[in-house]
Structure 1
Amino acid sequence: MGLTDLPLLSQIKGRLSWLDERQRVVAQNVANSDTPGYVARDLQQPTDFAAAMARGQGVQMMRTSAMHIAPQGQVARFESKAAPDSETTLDGNSVVVEEQMLKMAESRMAYDAAIGFYQKSMQMLRMAARKPGAA
């Protein structure tokens, strides 16, 4: 069992992937802020437990024996949806750069928090793996 197989680290990895994809979508919105008819997009954050269970996220089969059938690998896929900002210009563009910058800053803070949590988790694992009495 590798470190990436631990549920905690897997969850952090999934969160970082989501934040990375959101940064990409926000950057695309900013790049198209002058494109006529462009509608801003954003990622929906999977926060509803019941909805996540209905989509099959969060529950994964584990293979505890070589005799078991290997579970199919699940790849995290995020879908961006139209999320118009508070204003739409006369040419149909719905990107408000200030709102996109707020989303970018929010994603950056969440990314930093996830990285900090990952680092603390790794420190805890290293401390647990050390020989007793070792400094």
Structure 2
Amino acid sequence: MLKSRLGYLTERQKLVAQNVANSDTPGYRPSDLKPFSFQASLMNNAAGPVYRGGRAAPTSGVTMIATTTSHMGRPNAPSAWRATAGADSETTLDGNAVSLEDQMLKMTDARMNYDAAISFYQKSMTMLRMAARKPSG
């Protein structure tokens, strides 16, 4: 779940950076991702029911799973979240609809959420280390 959230925030940061880079391109319309939801994350990541021995056969087609670091992913794999294109709030005379203020707000929001997710991960790892430590005494 945390990996999915971090992936979503990374993709959103890329799209916002692309929007800012094209802020002077005539006719460019900014794009953004659909809001992250727990339900969508479960649907995107579920390859089948999980049992004690691992995952069962996928329920909808065959999925590739990297079991070692030497496995490579698909090139140009499509994003799990669909990008939506549309005007933020204003369109200039040349047809560009990027509002730098809105993009900076989105970028800040994505960064704060990313930092919060990383902090959650670090704290959970600290708790696991404490639980695994041999009691002193």
Task: Normalising by structure 2, report the TM-score.
Answer: 0.75
- Paired residue for 2:20? 30
Q: Which runs of 4+ in 1 moved over 3 A?
A: 57-60, 68-76
Partner deviation per Cα, 1:99-126 (whole Å, 9 max, x = no partner): 1011101111111111110100100111
- Structure 1: runs of 5+ lacking an equivalent: 1-10
Q: How do 1:1-135 and structure 2 match up within 5 A?
A: 11-47=1-37, 49=39, 52=40, 56-57=43-44, 59=46, 60-65=48-53, 69-71=56-58, 72-73=63-64, 77-133=80-136
Q: Deviation of residue 58 (structure 1)?
A: 6.3
Task: Normalising by structure 1, report the TM-score.
Answer: 0.76
Q: Deviation of residue 77 (structure 1)?
A: 1.6
Q: How many pairs were matched up?
A: 120
Preserved CA contact (<8 Å) 1:63 1:70: no
- Structure 2: runs of 5+ lacking an equivalent: 66-76
Which structure has more helix as a fraction of its residues? 1
Query: In the alignment, residue 122 of structure 1 is paired with which amino acid?
Result: M
Q: Matched residues in 2 for 1:64 and 1:109: separation?
A: 36
Q: Matched residues in 2 for 1:116 and 1:57: separation?
A: 24
Identity across the alignment (%): 53
- Paired residue for 1:3? none
Q: Deviation of residue 69 (structure 1)?
A: 4.2
Cα-Cα RMSD: 2.6
